[in-house]
Each structure stands twice: as structure tokens, then as C-alpha cells.
Amino acid sequence: MIDYHIHTNRCGHADGEAVDYVRAAINLGLDEIGFNDHLPLRGDSGKELGLAMALNELPDYVNDVMELRKSFPEIRIKLGVEADYTPDTESYTKALLTKHDFDYVTGSVHYIGEWAFDHPGERKKWDNKDVDLVYKEYFELLRKSARTLLFDIIGHCDLVKKFGNRPSHELLDDLEETAKVFKECGVAVEINTSGLRKPVHEIYPSYEILKVYKRFDIPVVFGSDAHTPDEVGRDFDKATTLAAEAGYDEYVTFENRTMKSHKLDSGKSIHC
Ligand SMILES: [Zn+2]
Ligand SMILES: [Zn+2]
């Protein structure tokens, strides 16, 4: 099994050095992990805000992952990165991503306009929002993020539900349109277990959404979104069961931005 969404203390809101996450993954018997720390923000404000590593730390992050790869041959270690998607930072992100040889890039929508809708400090702003409109805008941003072709994986692709806000109507049209764009753009989606640790208490994406993605044959990866070493591989028994129930019998990995499929053995759970 793989865990493709692992942060480190460089981002300013996670605990533990990269090596601690590797040791946790080896203890769990994972075959492969991918570091997916937050890409420096435009204007280099991420460190100060506790959201991402500083720009000058990016080469060190890359070197750390390369060194760990040599030190721990018993597990495959991939170099990923989680890049925020906002329409106005597209060219900045594009330029930064060319500087290093990532195995994969996860594109994540955490902002609608200036609003960090999933940030606990911004949660109160939900009170004045039209939830249906927020969902519409969110899925539109997901489609836009895929269309940039900057990303291999679209991260936690119903994060908008994090605090339990739900739309008043079925989203099927929006979901199908989104799945169609994902297919055209060749991206995978992530089954991210961190939602189970958030107010919504649900994996990202939900079973209903994952079924739509399966119908459009969108590949999946697995990620814990670990921000502490003990979160590595967390709830992966639930994630693999969800994938199997939605009809998936394969997952994918990435190397040098090339996707490869593997058989999903949902019966082989890891102990965590
Ligand atoms: Zn984070
Ligand atoms: Zn994220």
C-alpha cells in the first residue's frame, strides 16, 4: 500500500522531521510513500503564516527526500509536492514546479477567491455564505485546476465539506462535469483519509462522488494527509474498502510524473 500525502514540520503546522514519517511508514509495512509538503506560497508569506515552507527551503526539502531514499532502501520514497491552486497564482506555480524533478504534483483547492474556506480561523465566514454557491465555485475551481495540466493528482476533491456544510440539492451535474474534465486532463484523484479526523468525519471524497469518478475511470491514489508521524497510513483499511465498494480494483503510483497502475488488494489491510 502507498501513502502519497505526507507533510513534514517544514510547513509550519506539522510535527516531526521527514525521517520520522519514513520510520512510521516502515513500521506499518507500507511499500511506498510520497512526501507531499506544501509548495512555498507566492510572495513567500507561507512560513510566516504557518501555511507552507519558505521559498529558500524548497531545495532542502528536495535534498532531504533524496537522502532518505538512499538511507531507507526498504521502502520506495517519492518526491511529491502539494501546490495550492488559485487562478491568479498559476504562472508562479508553473515556474516553481519546473525547478525540481518531482515524481508527482498534487493540486489542491484551499481558496475560493481570498477565502481559505477550510481554515479553522476562517470557518466563521461560512455563516454568511450561500452554501450552494460555495459548492458551485469550489467544483468550478477543481475543473480549472485540472485544466492547467500542472497537476498529476487532484487533492481531497470534496474538501469543501470539511466543516459539515452541505448543499441543498444533488450535485450530480457538477460532479459529472468535473469527472469529465479530470478524464480529459488525465489526472488522478486522491482518496484522502484526513476528513475522518475533521468535523465532517468522512473520507475525501465521499462514496457518492467516488462512484462518479469510477464511472469516468479516473485513477486513484491513497493519502493520509499526515501532519504528525502517527497519522501515516491512518484509516487506510477504510480507504481501501471505500475504493473497492465504489468499484475500484486498481490504484496508481507516479515516477517522474508518469502514472503506473497496480492491483488493489482491499483484503490486505495494514495495521494501524
Ligand atoms: Zn498542511
Ligand atoms: Zn490540502
Which listed ligand is nearest to 9 at the C-alpha? 1
| pLDDT of 246 over the 50 cut | yes
> How far, in Å, is the centroid of ligand 2 from the Cα of 83?
8
> How far, in Å, is the centroid of ligand 1 from the Cα of 185?
25
Which listed ligand is nearest to 106 at the C-alpha? 2
| pLDDT of 270 over the 90 cut | no
> How far, in Å, is the centroid of ligand 2 from the Cα of 106?
9
CA 13 to chain centre: 16
| pLDDT of 268 over the 70 cut | no
* Whether the Cβ atoms of residue 252 and residue 220 lie closer than 8 Å to each other: yes
Domain boundaries, the chain: 2-263
> How far, in Å, is the centroid of ligand 2 from the Cα of 194?
9
Which listed ligand is nearest to 84 at the C-alpha? 2
* Single-letter amino acid code for the residue at 186: G
- pLDDT for the residue numbered 271: 42
> How far, in Å, is the centroid of ligand 2 from the Cα of 268?
27
Q: Count CB neighbours of 185 within 10 A.
A: 16
The CATH H-level (homologous superfamily) assignment of domain 2-263 is: Metal-dependent hydrolases (3.20.20.140)
| C-alpha span between 211 and 205 (Å, rounded) | 10
- pLDDT for the residue numbered 267: 57
| C-alpha span between 36 and 176 (Å, rounded) | 27
Tens of pLDDT, residues 102-160: 999 999 999 999 999 999 999 999 999 999 999 999 999 999 999 999 999 999 999 99
> How far, in Å, is the centroid of ligand 2 from the Cα of 6?
10
> How far, in Å, is the centroid of ligand 1 from the Cα of 58?
15
| pLDDT of 183 over the 80 cut | yes
> How far, in Å, is the centroid of ligand 1 from the Cα of 47?
12
Tens of pLDDT, residues 62-71: 999 999 999 9
| pLDDT of 161 over the 60 cut | yes
> How far, in Å, is the centroid of ligand 2 from the Cα of 38?
8
With a pLDDT cut of 90, the percent of the chain lying above it is: 94
- pLDDT for the residue numbered 272: 39
DSSP character at residue 216 = T
CA 56 to chain centre: 23
Task: Considering only residues 44 and 19, tell me which one the structure prediction assigns the higher pLDDT.
Answer: 19
